Structure 1
């Protein structure tokens, strides 16, 4: 069973251990998509090799912290996650993965770690989110938010009828999702040098929110070449393509470790 690392005061995010592999050579820290928690990555434990110890971010306002207020400042969240990663440093190298808004936060966290002069991730893996230095993410999110239930389903998935019939349950389920949308809309890209580390970008062929062509923009923010890997499915493809995605991620982790040990 997953358990938090340490004790978190109200409003404080934490890392949750999905696997318990202290002998694993590498830690993988995953940031969930909009509105969701560490459980989004639970099925990955059976697909990742034993050499990878899996952790996921727990944000306030959902899951075990459902009674706490959601955070909506992306730069504050990135700074806090960078702090938590520093506190949990056990001298093993780590990688960062994020899907959807989680990709934006993972990228911002890598930059926050660099500002702190802390050892950064050996791989930054980003899924289904375009580079934030252009207006595309904000413009597309605004269109989705204003288009109603049908377009929201493209991002979040179908809204169950039982939720629509229960306003309180609807508010509980969708408040963290809306908070994360607000967090993404409030993100501002400040000028900093490109990240000089291996960057893997993944997406879905039939993503109606952020189609594959918009993922190439990450090349602008990386000092190394970026070639997006595209999988079958929609924006929520990690659920259906967990084995395929983790297989690709595992290969990218091996390549990143090899790169890190080069002179």
Structure 2
């Protein structure tokens, strides 16, 4: 894990991360543990060995629960158990996603629904589950992972792209509704992060070279590059920032 800023207010904070045992999520789990946060995370695959590794590196063991985020009842139960273990969740990171590719004319209703259930519906119901605890605690921070894919008008995974566009709209709406409760809701849109899944399935020398041409910064993006932005959005250092979409993509999408 690369060095970075320390956020004292995150020490002891109750943090819940979806998909926190692999890819970007694993980097986030370790990043929050290194801050001294009380971290709970879920994913479908067993993550016991990963928890051992994080505990060895940071001295802080995360609380793992196996869960399919498309099972809303199970998702809410996992959040409730995390609150029992660590206190009301005051930082939620909706990270889990599936950017499965499919040709538009081949997508059927089942594929469409499955994609939105993972990439959008779970985000809403996770937020809904933590908000009452955040209200009681006097505030909190929700970070919803989006993607620059919808800003680029990319192709090959329409349900995923549609979900990420919707996430930014949902983020703004929740920020407006729950701002009076001091609950901040922001989105984070990564560029092409070279997780192991991306390397196994889609990264080729040609594809990576073409993408790096679009970046202002010519280094490839690693999962650890997302940690600083999420920690900032979770901490009181960003206390007056809400309803925003923070882009970390090496400069592919230049806004303003």
TM-score (norm 1): 0.43
TM-score (norm 2): 0.44
Structure in which a larger fraction of residues adopt helix:
2
